[in-house]
Chains A and B, each alone.
Chain A
């Protein structure tokens, strides 16, 4: 948001700027940002900025806010994609039918919101295994809470509130567990006097590991990559890869000792 404002402030006053993403409310002594997203008409201060709209002011698909210093306000306008508005209304209709027990609408809606929920959660959860779990939890919570949805309102804020809550719950549990478990990227020392295991038993045990854990183990221990390199290769955070590796070590230790 800060970079967005800086970019705006350099532009000539009186030009229309387009927001490429929803803005959050931001205040400082130098600049004032009061975006009023998803509102049907332009804000009252529109005329005070001395600007002329590039489109009819009462166009329902405009969203606007003011950015800039108090003495030199700049209007920021983004035209909401009318197709996305339509999609949102379709989702609300599907949800209403789902509340009435229509299974086709339920299927269509869950398929429709799936990618949206995944993208939303991906920004909050790095670990793919955990992401899959949280995704399932979110859809189940969505399903269970369906009677609380009001079809006259947009579906997305309701859905994202559920997703945010499930993700926050997951994060709480993760940190509680992390405080108890000691995560390490080093294999535990082998007890003295114990027979070294053969490669075949390790291979057998590795074959039983979930794919992501096997991948983490093999990159760190067989290919000899650093944890940063391995995380970079898979496209996950270092912490997530460390968790996978830790789980792999635990599982391998258990499998080999059986």
Chain B
């Protein structure tokens, strides 16, 4: 019995040394990731750029007045904060051992749901002709995707630079960061404050965007084996 254990032990050591020598041969200096807060700040700078663009080209004529309405501010603020938190979590998900915990994810979800519940405060017009509803809504859905595209690409690039252990979760969090903030930007841009419009043409496209990002993350953040296994086993 002890002979078997000893032979297994020495076998393990031989393989370990072969692997170590193989990895040492592959060793190159690497550029460390910037800290999460620095990368998050860079991402928020991108979002700020998009916000400036939105404010300059907004279709709202009552923005100054709306900004004094606490419901409007809570709605925008809730989604903006949720988006920033989602982005921070996605950056953390690219570092082993620093993935967001369940309670943190739960808080992000709760904040998103609470912000979405503010739609109930907006009036709902069920008498609008379906054609008009679609005609007014499609540009908003397109806008959500447009506003999210650059921040999403930046987040995907940043997450891919790291080593995400769960690709789908990393993608979903990056999507949450980009699309929830895009939702907030669209509230600044879109002059329609109607509950059904906000839900169907703003919120649902953002949710679909998050789901697609999760799928993209699953495919893009798969573990890539850049180091071949040592041939001797």
A residues whose Cβ falls under 8 Å from a Cβ of B? 98-101, 103, 106-107, 110-111, 114, 118, 128, 132, 135-136, 139-141, 143-151, 157-162, 165, 211, 215, 233-235
Contact = CB atoms under 8 A, between A and B. Distances in A.
20 contacts: A110-B16, A132-B12, A135-B16, A139-B20, A140-B19, A141-B223, A143-B23, A144-B227, A145-B162, A146-B30, A147-B30, A147-B32, A148-B33, A148-B95, A148-B162, A150-B95, A151-B32, A158-B97, A160-B97, A162-B97
Nearest to B94: A148
A107 B19 CA distance: 10
A174 B205 CA distance: 38
Contacts of A146: 30
A135 B12 CA distance: 10
Given A107-B20, A139-B23, A140-B227, A145 B96 contact: yes
A217 to B, nearest CB: 14
The 5 closest A-B pairs by CB, nearest first: A161-B97, A101-B29, A145-B163, A147-B30, A161-B96
B15 A132 contact: yes
Contacts of A145: 96, 162-163
Interface of B: 1, 4-5, 7-8, 12, 15-16, 19-20, 23-24, 26-33, 35, 94-99, 162-163, 165-166, 223-227, 229
Nearest to B25: A103
Contacts of A215: 4
Given A143-B227, A148-B163, A233-B1, A99 B96 contact: no
Contact of A144 (B24, B95, B163): B163
A144 B26 CA distance: 10
A247 B165 CA distance: 30
Would you call the interface of chain A mostly helix, strand, loop, or mixed? helix
A140 B94 CA distance: 17
Contacts of B5: 235
B224 to A, nearest CB: 8
Contacts of A140: 19, 23, 225, 227, 229
A162 B96 contact: yes
Nearest to B17: A111
B72 to A, nearest CB: 40
Nearest to B99: A161
A196 to B, nearest CB: 31
Contacts of B27: 98, 101, 103, 106, 143
B16 A101 contact: no
A166 to B, nearest CB: 9
Given A118-B12, A132-B15, A145-B96, 8 more contacts: A107-B24, A140-B23, A144-B163, A148-B162, A150-B95, A162-B96, A165-B166, A211-B7
A156 B6 CA distance: 28
Nearest to A128: B8
Contact of B165 (A132, A136, A165): A165
Given A148-B162, A162-B96, A234 B28 contact: no
Contacts of B4: 215, 234
B97 A144 contact: no
Contacts of A139: 19-20, 23
A146 B26 CA distance: 13
Contact of A111 (B12, B20, B98): B20
Given A132-B12, A139-B23, A157-B97, A99 B29 contact: yes
A120 to B, nearest CB: 13
B32 A150 contact: yes
